């Protein structure tokens, strides 16, 4: 980290190597388009190196880097009016069905693909809560929504994911 602060290119590359996969997958889940996700990772890493001196250690370095990536994704979604939270009411909630019980790692690419197909709002909440470990209160603050909307969007995302995996991906 010291070397990164001195803008040592080798050290910067090491940091990049360490986090690029996680950042890219986070980006592609939030903005499910490979080329846009690459642009977001690029922009995020530039910010990481630019602001590294301000990292205070409140979160792990990985969490801090991910937060920068999340903010970059959200800014992109907002700029393109793509961050809409539809179907907040329970009338629009997909029906709860018998839960699927995945058991093999070979099923993970299907799950990943299905997450990318969810509507923007519920996909964003599901990604932040289930995959990145944010609490609904934090998500509400990050997205500027209520805790209740975050919970509803999560439930909606989870049910839609089950539905997609059953119907489209035959799990």
Number of residues that bind another protein (CB under 8 A): 48
Candidate residues 18, 33, 38, 92; the one interacting with another protein per rule CB under 8 A: 38
Candidate residues 54, 79, 105, 170; the one interacting with another protein per rule CB under 8 A: 105
**Residues 127/70, Cβ–Cβ less than 8 Å:** no
Candidate residues 79, 95, 99, 170; the one interacting with another protein per rule CB under 8 A: 99
Q: Does 77 bind another protein (CB under 8 A)?
A: no
Please report how the helices 61-79 and 9-30 are oriented relative to each other, as an axis angle in degrees rounded to 10: 50
d(C-alpha 94, C-alpha 15), whole Å: 42
Q: How far is the CB of 138 from another protein (least distance, A)?
A: 12
Backbone angles phi, psi at 146, to 5 degrees: -85, 165
Q: What is the DSSP string of 43-83?
A: HHHHHHHHHGGG--SSS-HHHHHHHHHHHHHHHHHHHTT--
Of 42 and 71, nearer to another protein (C-beta) is 42
Residue numbers at the binding site for another protein (CB under 8 A): 1-2, 6-9, 12-13, 16-17, 20-22, 24-26, 28, 34, 38, 41-42, 45-46, 49, 56-62, 99-103, 105, 107-109, 111-112, 130-131, 158, 161-162, 165
């Amino acid at each position: 980290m010291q070397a990164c602060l001195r803008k040592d290119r080798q050290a910067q590359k090491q940091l990049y190597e360490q986090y690029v996969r996680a950042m890219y997958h986070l980006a592609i889940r939030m903005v499910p388009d490979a080329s846009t996700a690459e642009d977001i990772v690029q922009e995020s890493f530039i910010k990481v190196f630019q602001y590294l001196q301000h990292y205070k250690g409140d979160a792990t370095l990985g969490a801090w880097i991910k937060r920068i990536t999340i903010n970059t994704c959200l800014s992109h979604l907002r700029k393109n009016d793509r961050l809409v939270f539809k179907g907040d009411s329970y009338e629009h909630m997909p029906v709860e069905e018998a839960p699927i019980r995945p058991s093999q790692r070979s099923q993970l690419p299907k799950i990943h693909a299905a997450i990318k197909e969810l509507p923007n709002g519920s996909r964003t909440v599901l990604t932040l809560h289930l995959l990145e470990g944010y609490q609904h209160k934090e998500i509400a603050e990050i997205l500027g929504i209520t805790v209740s909307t975050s919970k509803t969007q999560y439930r909606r995302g989870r049910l839609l994911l089950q539905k997609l995996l059953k119907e489209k991906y035959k799990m």
